[in-house]
A and B are shown apart, each in its own frame.
Chain A
Amino acid sequence: MKGRSIPWLKFTAPASFYALAQRLVPWLWPAAALCAIAGLYMGFFVAPPDHQQGDAYRILFIHVPTAWMGMLLYLLLAVYGAIFLVWRIKMADIMARAIAPTGALMTFLSLWTGALWGAPTWGTFWVWDARLTSTLILLFLFLGYMALHAASDDREKGGRAASLLAIVGAVNVPIIYFSVEWWYNLHQGVSVMRSDGPSMADSMVAALLLMIAAFWIYAGAVVLRRAQVEALSREPRTEWAQAAAVGRLTRDQRQRAAADTALDQQPLGPEGEA
């Protein structure tokens, strides 16, 4: 370990990540669009109106995916935050920072769509019940992470404080998820992931799954793109970033940058030797 770089650390190099994302993202946009088009078609033209909620239930085709994405992105944010805190891997902080705005947007959209679904269905836009309140807290956690990260002049310090917040806030996610079972709630119970199968018509399930896929892929594409931009802006003077900015990042440059990162991030041994 002494004086030699650890091979797997090369994969955590922003340059390696940049090249990989550059190859992935162009496929993700059309894939997300295709899923969204198919899902919207199924949701608006194949799935019948609900016998209780009429056509208002169609809001669920975007409400459920945004709500799931909000929680999922938060868990990812906490995981990357933990990786950054423990191993000081820069790329983890870049990923976490790239996730937060999309997570906040998804959570906001789930609250918005939920309110517009609740108004005709429950007769109110908002109630302070467990699920809605904990989802609002999720939104504040995302915003708090972003504010805390941006507040410190020292990015390393800001990143550590924000990561800590992200980890502590992760207890909120199971609270949101299980709130409909733990407490008496206005929010309806689980209707998709049930042990006895979904309590919906097949075309509704198909539309919902397609929309969920669309949001997953969209979130993946937008987070990878944002992480790329963040990686470039953090290492502006490096050879790889300047080559990448003109779209000519060579394999050699990438590997040199990766080797540099691996050396740079090598954990100190117990005797304090790098």
Chain B
Amino acid sequence: MWDGIGDFLAMGGYAPYVWGAFGMVALGLLLEGLLLARRRRQVRARLQRQSRRRSAAAAHNQGE
């Protein structure tokens, strides 16, 4: 259907519109995924620290 990669990228003369639209959607979804993954790591790390502190305190209390 397309006459080579150049023809595909040109999108029948609508390249800025088509790629601008698809590019922003890709960027938006990528950014959402990355931000969510970072927040997930942070929350899990915080809970893991709390749980370690709690079990350390429990072990300490048992020792006394």
Contact = CB atoms under 8 A, between A and B. Distances in A.
Interface string B7-21: 010011110111011
Interface in A106-120: 108-109, 112-113, 116-117, 119-120
Contacts of B14: 54-56, 120
A67 B10 CA distance: 26
B5 to A, nearest CB: 12
Contact of B25 (A48, A113, A246): A113
Given A62-B25, A109-B24, A242-B54, A119 B33 contact: no
Interface in A187-240: 218, 222, 225-226, 228-229, 232-233, 236-237
Contacts of A242: 47-48, 50-51, 54
Given A229-B39, A241-B47, A242-B51, A109 B17 contact: no
B40 A225 contact: yes
Interface of B: 1-2, 8, 11-14, 16-18, 20-22, 24-25, 28-29, 32-33, 36, 39-40, 43-48, 50-51, 54
B12 A49 contact: yes
A101 interface: yes
Interface of A: 44-46, 48-49, 54-56, 58-59, 62-63, 66, 101-102, 105, 108-109, 112-113, 116-117, 119-120, 218, 222, 225-226, 228-229, 232-233, 236-237, 241-246
A56 B32 contact: no
Contact of A232 (B1, B28, B33, B44): B44
B28 A109 contact: yes
A6 B41 CA distance: 34
B12 to A, nearest CB: 4
Nearest to A225: B36
Nearest to A246: B48
Interface of A is mostly: helix
Contact of A105 (B2, B28, B50): B28
A116 B12 contact: no
A107 B31 CA distance: 15
A236 B17 contact: no
Q: Which of B21, B24, B36, B45 has the most CB of A within 10 A?
A: B21
B23 to A, nearest CB: 10
Contacts of A232: 43-44, 47
B25 A109 contact: yes
B18 A58 contact: yes
Nearest to A247: B44
B25 A56 contact: no
A112 B16 CA distance: 13
A233 B43 contact: yes
Given A54-B13, A112-B24, A229 B18 contact: no
B25 A226 contact: no
